[in-house]
Amino acid sequence: MRSWKSALALGALMWLIPFVVAFLVFPFHESARPFFESIMAVTVTGTAVVLGLRYVRHGAGRGEGLALGVVWLVVCVAIDAPLMLLGGPMQMTVGQYSADIALTYLAIPIVTWGLAAVARSATGSRPGMASEA
């Protein structure tokens, strides 16, 4: 990991941005649940793309991109799970949390791995691959 400090700080933002959006659109949670879930999936994915680009622009291989995404996933669950499981506003079971929220977080390492792979190939840094400049 190039910078644990940067990875953890961006991981906190990776959790905070969707949390703020969820707070703003929470009235749709019951009245238009599919709409709410779609907004949240798009928000998590979009946040991972924007923050992931910020991290990998200085060069990161696929392995580091995957590790970054796993770190962000762990940060998100570490902050989120206690709020949702331990008397927080949602009071979810572990199964509900896993199916409803944690599953969406699996997109994070997929996005960061892909971004790192594309960034590496765009710079021509992969052995045996020609740059497409």
Per-residue pLDDT of the chain in tens (133 residues, 90 and over written 9): 778 999 999 999 999 999 999 999 998 988 999 999 999 999 999 999 999 999 988 777 788 899 999 999 999 999 998 888 887 667 888 999 888 888 999 999 999 999 998 887 766 654 444 333 3
Please tell me the total count of domains within the chain.
1
10 Å CB burial of residue 108 (0-12, 13-18, 19+) is: buried
Dihedral sign for Cα atoms in the order 85, 33, 113, 6: negative
pLDDT of residue 46: 97
Q: What angle do CA 85, 23, 55 make, to 5 degrees?
A: 85
The predicted pLDDT at position 122 comes to 66
* Residue 82 within a domain: yes
pLDDT at 38: 94
Q: Is residue 73 part of a domain?
A: yes
Residue 2 pLDDT = 77
Question: How many other CB atoms sit within 10 Å of the CB of residue 128?
Answer: 4
Residue 85 lies in a domain: yes
Question: Is residue 71 helix, strand or coil?
Answer: helix
Q: Pseudo-torsion of CA 24, 27, 33, 37, nearest 10°?
A: 10
Handedness of CA 6, 8, 13, 14 (dihedral sign): positive
Which residues constitute the domain of residue 97? 4-122
pLDDT computed for residue 40 by the predictor: 95
Q: What is the pTM of this model?
A: 0.84
Q: What is the pLDDT of residue 117?
A: 87
Provide the 10 A C-beta neighbour count for residue 54.
13
